[in-house]
Amino acid sequence: MSSTEQGTSSAAPAEPTTAPESAAAPEVPESFYYVHGKDKVVHKVSAGALQHSALIHGMISNLGYTEEQAKANPFPFENIDGDILQMVVDWCNQHKGKPTPPEDTNLPKQKEKLFDLVLAVNYLEIKELLTYCCKQVAMMVKGKSPEEIREIWMIPTDAEDEAAEKEAKKRAGKEAAGETAAAAGDAK
Amino acid sequence: MPKNGFPLLKLPQLVLFECVENLDVLEILILSLLSKRARKVAQLNRWNISEMEWELGYENQISLSTPSDPCRKWIINYDRKNDTSKYPYFESELTGDYVKHYLFQNNTENNIEEMKHIVENIWEVFRAPIRYIKIFDESFIEWLLKFQPTILSLWIKEDVITSFETLDRIFKNLKVESFDLESIKTDKTTKVMEPIPFPYITVQNSYWLTLPAILNGSYTIICLYGSELTPKDINTILKEWQMGTKLQSLLSLEICTVTLLDAESCIREIYKDLNLTLSDRKDENPTIGNIHDENIYRRAQEKHRTLNLVRSDGTIGSITRSYTVDKYRKNAIYFRLFVW
């Protein structure tokens, strides 16, 4: 892996980003793990914070890494954008060892960001955060008219869906024909 | 389609499920109307909408309710005449414990077709059948026959029925619990001898409904207004009921008819050869439950003298009647029998 354990911003520190220390620090030294997203920026996260993610928690339990091994082998999440992973890490840190409140107002307001966050959270299996995100998705359309809802949720009309399906079939047909031709060329 | 939206349909199924869980009934309905793919997503909802009521005519609206929260209703209404640029819009109304969530739609010429489409969608998305429909257009009968031939309550507005063939088609092809029929627009000479195959009937201008049609039915509640049944017919009904041979499941019978007989002769004719007793339980009038068992009501103490008729199996029927002369010098009888 090409990670250089860089920080998150352009003025990145040499050391990985560290989670803010919880006010009620545990007596036993906490173990830390490392994750990175598409941008390869490594985030240092405590095991307590990572417990929110069923996926990572499962990985940790199975691997039994020492801190040194964990540092040398950050968990790679190449399908998650760096800024989205940062949001997830921040959320896990903020809610480490705390009961989750019924509302979360810190979720991104930009719809594209929220979409990426939902996918990441679903992948990482962070149940409480997914619940907040889904509530936020539903809140987007409160009191909106059908056409506004169509626009907000980018729902194509049946005609648009049909056209897209036709187009996809056409493309698939062309690709299949191309592959056949290439195979025939190879055979010669 | 703008690029800065949220592509809901691209979410994984389980996430979609959780998003839909957070939507209200009207939002789910709107989503289902946007496209076929959106309808599939809307179908992931877990709302238990058990009842749909569709009223057409004076009020054009579809109401939805759930048994888990009887104080809440969702209503799609087409009858507001406000500034049309506002439509569609939402409004909620709180009255006591009751909350009504409205979606007001523009009342256009096409709203009937649109409402049919919405009702079909509701069926697909919430699996909710129509419990009650009030119709004002004959075309709805054919639509109903195809869409939902079993319905709890059907109300047909005045002049919707223009032929006895249509009426016959309804009787033969629909399964209805409660049937309300306002005046029909047919030739006045035709009479119907066959019973209406529904247990609760209320018929306005029921001149066409004959004695055999009443006696041979399995009715629980009969309300006939504008009837042409005679005092002698009423006497026959009472005798048959008393013998236990006809109308065994009858709970209530109301007949409004006119007669040429004077009051005394009319009463004598109605009660002829019947062993009646004067009711001695004035404080205990019969309790009649309506078909939905929601509004069981106790009849107020009768102003007129109540007579009792005891059936062969011991069931008691209480009879009250009034006799008035209207402005057209017609003698009107209002007759009631309650079984308890």
A54 contacts on B by Cβ (under 8 Å): none
pLDDT of residue B253: 95
Angle at A74 between CA A70 and CA A76, to 5 degrees: 150
What are the residue boundaries of the structural domains of chain A, listed by start? 32-142
Neighbour-count burial for B217-255, b at 16+ CB within 10 Å, e otherwise: bebbbbbbbebbbbbebbbbbbebbbeeebbeebbbbbb
Summarize the confidence of residues B201-213 as an average pLDDT. Answer: 95
Q: Which of B131-145, B200-214, B294-308 has the lowest mean pLDDT?
A: B294-308
Q: Where are the beta strands (DSSP E) in B264-306?
A: 276-278, 287-288, 297-298
**pLDDT tier, B186 (very low <50, low <70, confident <90, very high otherwise):** confident
Sheet strands side by side (includes A75-76): A17-18, A42-46, A32-36, A75-76
pLDDT of residue B275: 86
Instruction: Find the residue in A nearest to B105 (Cα).
Output: A145
B1 contacts on A by Cβ (under 8 Å): 151, 154, 156, 160
What's CA B282's distance to the chain center, in Å?
Answer: 31
Structure token digits, residue B97: 């414990």
Q: Is the peptide bond before A20 cis (omega within 30 degrees of 0)?
A: no
Summarize the confidence of residues B211-228 as an average pLDDT. Answer: 95
pLDDT of residue A69: 81
Q: Is A146 on the interface with B (CB under 8 A)?
A: yes
- Report the percentage of chain B scoring pLDDT > 90: 52
Neighbour-count burial for B162-201, b at 16+ CB within 10 Å, e otherwise: eebebbeebbeebebbbbbbbbbebeeeeebeebbbbbbb
B9 contacts on A by Cβ (under 8 Å): 153-155
User: CB burial class (10 A; 0-12, 13-18, 19+) of residue A184?
Assistant: exposed
**pLDDT tier, B212 (very low <50, low <70, confident <90, very high otherwise):** very high
pLDDT of residue B328: 66
pLDDT of residue B305: 67
Note the pLDDT tens digit of each residue in B6-45: 999 999 999 999 999 999 999 999 999 999 999 999 999 9
pLDDT at A50 over 70: yes
pLDDT of residue B55: 80
Structure token digits, residue A24: 């009620």
Pick the residue with more confidence: B145 or B298? B145
Q: Which of A117-131, A172-186, B185-199 has the lowest mean pLDDT?
A: A172-186
Summarize the confidence of residues B63-78 as an average pLDDT. Answer: 90
pLDDT at A115 over 70: yes
* DSSP notation for A13-32: -SSPEEPPPPSS--SSPPPE
Summarize the confidence of residues B245-252 as an average pLDDT. Answer: 92
Q: Is A155 on the interface with B (CB under 8 A)?
A: yes
Strand partners of residue B333: B257, B323
Fold of A32-142: Potassium Channel Kv1.1; Chain A (3.30.710)
**pLDDT tier, A47 (very low <50, low <70, confident <90, very high otherwise):** confident
pLDDT at A30 over 90: no
**pLDDT tier, B287 (very low <50, low <70, confident <90, very high otherwise):** very low
**pLDDT tier, B70 (very low <50, low <70, confident <90, very high otherwise):** confident
**Contact residues for B284 (Cβ-Cβ < 8 A; gap 6+):** none
Is the pTM for the entire model greater than 0.95? no
Angle at B23 between CA B19 and CA B28, to 5 degrees: 105
Q: What one-letter code names the amino acid at A33?
A: Y
Q: How far is B26 from chain A (nearest CA, A)?
A: 10
pLDDT at B297 over 50: no
pLDDT at A23 over 70: no
**pLDDT tier, B284 (very low <50, low <70, confident <90, very high otherwise):** low
**What span, in angstroms and rounded, lies between the C-alpha atoms of A140 and A152?**
8
